[in-house]
Amino acid sequence: ETNTLPFHPFENQQGDILRVEKEHQVLKEQLREAEEKFEQSQSRSLEEIGALEELLKKSVEETEVSQNELDWFHQDSESQMKKWQQEKKENRENLKALRGTAKKHSDTNERYLKTIDEKEKQYNECLNTFLETSNKFANEKSKLEELIKKSQDVSQECEKRAVTAEVSVLQTWKETEIWKLKGTIAKAEGNLRMLKAVSSSASGAPVLKSQIDSWEIFISNVKKQLEKVEAEYEEKIEQVKNGARNCLSKVEMVDLPCP
């Protein structure tokens, strides 16, 4: 995330600070070139002055040779002097303009440096705040991860206890229903044995034959229901152990009327 987005409020768009620094470097280069040109111009002017002074010296030495040449020399010297003065004046004006530009650039440079220092201070403050916040969030994240891990362990333990409880309930229901059905079978078998004993006499056999058949059919149906109940409860218990939900319900029983 570093240096990929504008640094508000110090940049309106990405690279504003770098662009200001580049402009500052360009202005410094222009100032250096202007100073070099001024120095060259001043050196050239000094050289011209020296040449003119040398020419004047030679003219003085040659005054004895020709007055006309002296007049010409004076005219030429005056012309050169005016030219030099004009150049000097222009150079002074250029120098003054360059000094004004240099001062302007210097003021701008100082203002930019001050702005950069302020922005850097604000950046450091924001960075410190960010680091402090980041560390705080990291600590909170670590605590939350630890709490989540503990919660997951507690949840797994609760889930195990819930499975154990559901299995225990289903097992209790199964045993209760089996006990009831086995009791019914035992009573029916006792009645059947009594009927068979009574029917052993020749006189009671035709009358009790249908009742004996009814009780045998009843006992067979109850045994089938017993097997069905036991199988369905075992299936529910196995589903709960495998992680299934909504299995905690009783197996439907068919009401079988006694003969």
CA-based nearest residue to 250, from 233, 226, 235: 233
pLDDT in tens, 209-248: 888 888 889 989 989 988 998 898 888 888 888 877 777 7
CA-based nearest residue to 249, from 171, 170, 179: 170
217 backbone dihedrals φ, ψ, rounded to 5°: -65, -40
Q: What is the mean pLDDT of residues 115-143?
A: 92
Is the previous residue joined to 259 through a cis bond, with omega within 30 degrees of 0?
no
Q: Is pTM, for the whole model, over 0.85? A: no
pLDDT in tens, 188-204: 889 888 888 887 765 55
Per-residue CA distances from 207 to 129, 200, 203 (Å): 103, 11, 8
